[in-house]
Amino acid sequence: MAAKLDGQPVAFGAPVTVQAGQVLAGRLKDAPYEGDAAGKVVTPEGWTWAQSLTKGLTESARAQADAVLAGAPACAQINAGAQKAEASLPFTVTQVASFNTPWRIAFLPDGRMLVTEKPGRIFIVTQGGEKTEVRDVPKVLASGQNGLLDIAPAPDFASSSRIFFTYVEPGNGGRLVLSRATLSVLANGATLTDRTAIWRQAPAGGGGQPGGIIAFDRQGSHLFLTVGDRMRPDSAQDPAQARGKVLRLNLDGSTPADNPHASEGGLRGQTWTTGHRNPYGVAFAPDGRLWLHEMGPRGGDEFNLIEPDRNYGWPLVSNGDNYSGTPIPRHATRPEFAAPAVYWTPVISPAGLAFYDGAMFPQWRGSALIGGLSARALVRVTFGPDGQPDEAERWTMGARIRDVAVAPDGAVWVIEDSNPGRLLRLTPAPR
């Protein structure tokens, strides 16, 4: 397809001036390019459209061209940081229970929840707020962002009663651990049996930012695990360090044979993507795509489409700057790195990620729901016909929102990052 400006053909080789709001569209091989741009695009005879589309564009437009060059879906970088939070809520908020610095919510098939507390406790919680503490939980290093982290029932939980959970274990400066266990519920309480660590971070040590978020693929045969950079930025680009990565594992912790670098073995064989900072949310969308959000430094929180063997650039590029004030090159300067589809400057400090597929809020179906720590808000991200995400709504919650989950009945549940941190049920507001 020849290039078009606002739907009108553009002669190859002719200088093109694109004004703000105009749409430049073209096709490179089989990858479509389309997006708003402002600036000059010069296309001398003999240039490819790849060369043409990246010359003289603004940062936003260039990001779209870079996506084409990388073979990814054309996707603008949208800064949603200036979105204002709505004080008027379209839902009723009901407090169900409270916890000591809770971290994650995970629903069991029968509608009960598993809730983790960062100091090292797991609870089974009914929708009425009755709590049963689970025994035989391992000791954790509970300091800063470290502690007992994510929890997730196995895809076959209904028959196996297995759960997966992550934590930072004491000793050696703290090591992120992924464990598997059987959740045994008896008349006298609940306990973890057959508990075993199936993956341990190497090398150990570091600060906070452990990651530790779990997602299962749609087939229930593989597990994705986020690992933060542990406040050692350079380690995110080191293939020998389990930091700043997304890993893809079999459910026993072994390496899938079809991973991009499975033949290399070790951590390299387990690595799905690299170049991440502080990933505290990962989930599959209804269309099967895997999305991840991560906290930026001073600015530049990211919402990324996760594709195998991509490098997301941290700390070599970012849409934020170092806390010292020194600048970091922007994503548009390094097209070999995958750029975020949405970023937030100012930041929201995203935590928790769930895609809505329930019945209570039909207008939200397909949306991503994200908790905001510094934003003290719940954020809804929608996807356009072309798959491009953007923040649609943000609601003031009056507290740091650590996690968000969708119940089997379609209610949305959020939990606060505090002590006490409230577990809240969100249902449609009366009309």
Reduce the DSSP state of residue 270 to 3 states and report it.
helix
The pLDDT tens digits of the residues spanning 204-220 come to: 999 999 999 999 999 99
Q: What pLDDT, on a 0 to 100 scale, did the predictor assign at position 323? A: 94
Work out the widest C-alpha separation in the chain, in whole angstroms. Answer: 79
Q: What pLDDT, on a 0 to 100 scale, did the predictor assign at position 187? A: 86
Q: Please, are residues 199 and 166 in contact by the beta-carbon 8 Å criterion?
A: no
Q: Please, are residues 267 and 202 in contact by the beta-carbon 8 Å criterion?
A: yes
Rounded Cα distance between 340 and 348, Å, is: 15
Q: What pLDDT, on a 0 to 100 scale, did the predictor assign at position 188? A: 87
Q: What pLDDT, on a 0 to 100 scale, did the predictor assign at position 19? A: 52
**Two tokens at 267?**
């951590």
Reduce the DSSP state of residue 307 to 3 states and report it.
coil
Query: What stretches in the chain show pLDDT beneath 50?
Result: 1-2, 11-15, 20-21, 26-74
Q: How far is CA 185 from CA 106, 134, 151, 191, in A?
A: 16, 9, 17, 7
Q: What pLDDT, on a 0 to 100 scale, did the predictor assign at position 6? A: 58
Q: Please, are residues 79 and 343 in contact by the beta-carbon 8 Å criterion?
A: yes
H or E element: which one contains 22? none
User: Mind listing the domains of the chain with CATH numbers?
Assistant: 4-76 (no CATH), 91-428 (2.120.10.30)
